[in-house]
């Protein structure tokens, strides 16, 4: 699913030490990976490369056998829309849209994801409703303003938006940091159930090492990085 070889990334060309230097990292289809590391170690930077938002300066970074390092900006955007669901730390929901409309946005720019969604339900709205229900947001909240939802409820909307149209890779950047321990575990179990239903690979970043026992693989960013002196 993900294959990184000899990757190096700098935010600025003047940087002497790259932010990321990863000799090798392979993640298989369907794995649930817990990615951890100290603040500032580069976790969000790595996610931005996996999602094709940024591009490595050297090395290869393949997702689904496509080397994102060789694609143009526009092709990386299209690749992300078709194959990747991203749950942001602050959720990035559009406050003037309802939860249902926010979820449908997840497949608005991707024909393949719309087609996948329409294989599950008769319309995109019904599929958005189904996912919100599966992720624990009851129907009385589906048409309210997103701004009136609790953090935990917004998180469920963000997750449903990532899952609509069954993307092969789900990336989650600290999506549980605002929740208490019991709600964190319950939410992660819902994520796993949804990912398993369609065989999505899950890469989940968190500071909270108590969560790592829930995952089938744990990766320490510090351990996989090459030390550059
Ligand atoms: N947009 C950016 N422009 C320039 N430098 C950046 C940018 N984003 C991150 N960095 C730098 O890259 C390094 C890694 O940051 P990153 O946010 O990836 O770490 P992190 O492990 O996700 O941290 P945290 O756990 O605190 O979120 C930091 O030194 C940071 O200052």
d(C-alpha 72, C-alpha 53), whole Å = 11
- Of residues 176 and 213, the one with the higher pLDDT is 213
d(C-alpha 229, C-alpha 212), whole Å = 30
In a domain, 36, yes or no: yes
d(C-alpha 123, C-alpha 120), whole Å = 9
In a domain, 97, yes or no: yes
- Hey, is 215 helix, strand or coil? coil
Domain hosting 114: range is 31-56+73-224
In a domain, 7, yes or no: no
Which residues are near ligand 1 (CB < 6 Å)? 11, 19, 37, 39-45
Reported as a single tens digit per residue, the pLDDT across 58-105 is 999 999 999 999 999 999 999 999 999 999 988 899 999 999 999 999
- Residue 1 Cα distances to 35, 64, 101, 136, angstroms: 16, 5, 30, 28
pLDDT at 90: 85
Reported as a single tens digit per residue, the pLDDT across 115-147 is 999 999 999 999 999 999 998 899 999 998 898
Both tokens assigned to 66: 């496509």
**pTM confidence score:** 0.94
Kindly give the distance from the C-alpha atom of residue 18 to the centroid of ligand 1, in angstroms, as a whole number.
12
d(C-alpha 213, C-alpha 102), whole Å = 31
Reported as a single tens digit per residue, the pLDDT across 156-207 is 999 999 999 999 999 999 888 777 887 888 889 989 999 999 999 999 999 8
In a domain, 64, yes or no: no
CATH number of domain containing 120: 3.40.50.300
pLDDT at 113: 97
**Beta-carbon neighbour count of residue 182 at 10 Å?**
8
State the total domains in the chain.
1
For residues 59 and 7, the answer to whether their CB atoms sit within 8 Å is yes
- Of residues 182 and 39, the one with the higher pLDDT is 39
User: Which residues, 6 or more positions from 51, have their beta carbon under 8 angstroms from its beta carbon?
Assistant: 80, 84, 86, 171
Reported as a single tens digit per residue, the pLDDT across 93-119 is 999 999 999 999 999 999 999 999 999
Name the closest-CA residue to atom 1, ligand 1. Answer: 11
228 pLDDT band (50/70/90 cuts)?
low
In a domain, 175, yes or no: yes
ipTM > 0.95 for the complex? yes
Mean pLDDT of the chain: 93
In a domain, 164, yes or no: yes
Sequence-ordered strand ranges (E) for the chain: 2-9, 20-27, 32-36, 58-63, 66-67, 84-87, 169-173, 201-205, 217-220
In a domain, 63, yes or no: no
Name the closest-CA residue to atom 8, ligand 1. Answer: 45
- Hey, is 13 helix, strand or coil? coil
Which atom of ligand 1 approaches the CA of 42 most closely? 18
In a domain, 4, yes or no: no
227 pLDDT band (50/70/90 cuts)?
low
DSSP secondary structure letter of residue 77: H
Kindly give the distance from the C-alpha atom of residue 41 to the centroid of ligand 1, in angstroms, as a whole number.
7
Q: To the nearest 5 percent, what fractions of the chain are helix, strand and coil? A: 40, 20, 35
Kindly give the distance from the C-alpha atom of residue 100 to the centroid of ligand 1, in angstroms, as a whole number.
32
Ligand 1 pocket test: which of 9, 42, 49, 54 has the largest number of ligand atoms within 8 Å of its C-beta? 42
């Amino acid at each position: 699913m993900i294959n990184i070889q000899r990757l190096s990334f700098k935010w600025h060309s003047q940087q002497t030490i790259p932010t990321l230097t990863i000799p090798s990292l392979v993640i298989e289809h369907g794995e649930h990976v817990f990615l951890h590391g100290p603040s500032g170690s580069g976790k969000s930077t790595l996610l931005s490369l996996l999602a094709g938002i940024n591009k490595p300066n050297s090395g290869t970074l393949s997702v689904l056998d496509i080397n994102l390092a060789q694609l143009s900006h526009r092709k990386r955007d299209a690749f992300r829309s078709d194959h990747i669901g991203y749950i942001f730390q602050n959720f990035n929901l559009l406050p003037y849209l309802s939860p249902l409309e926010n979820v449908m946005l997840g497949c608005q720019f991707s024909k393949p994801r719309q087609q996948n969604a329409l294989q599950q339900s008769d319309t995109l709205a019904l599929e958005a409703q189904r996912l919100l229900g599966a992720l624990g947001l009851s129907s009385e909240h589906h048409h309210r303003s997103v701004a009136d939802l609790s953090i935990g409820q917004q998180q469920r909307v963000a997750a449903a938006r990532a899952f609509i149209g069954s993307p092969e890779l789900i990336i989650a950047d600290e999506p549980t940091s605002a929740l208490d321990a019991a709600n964190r575990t319950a939410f992660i179990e819902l994520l796993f159930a949804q990912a398993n239903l369609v065989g999505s690979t899950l890469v989940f970043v968190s500071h909270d090492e108590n969560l790592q026992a829930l995952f089938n693989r744990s990766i320490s960013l510090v351990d996989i990085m090459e030390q550059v002196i």
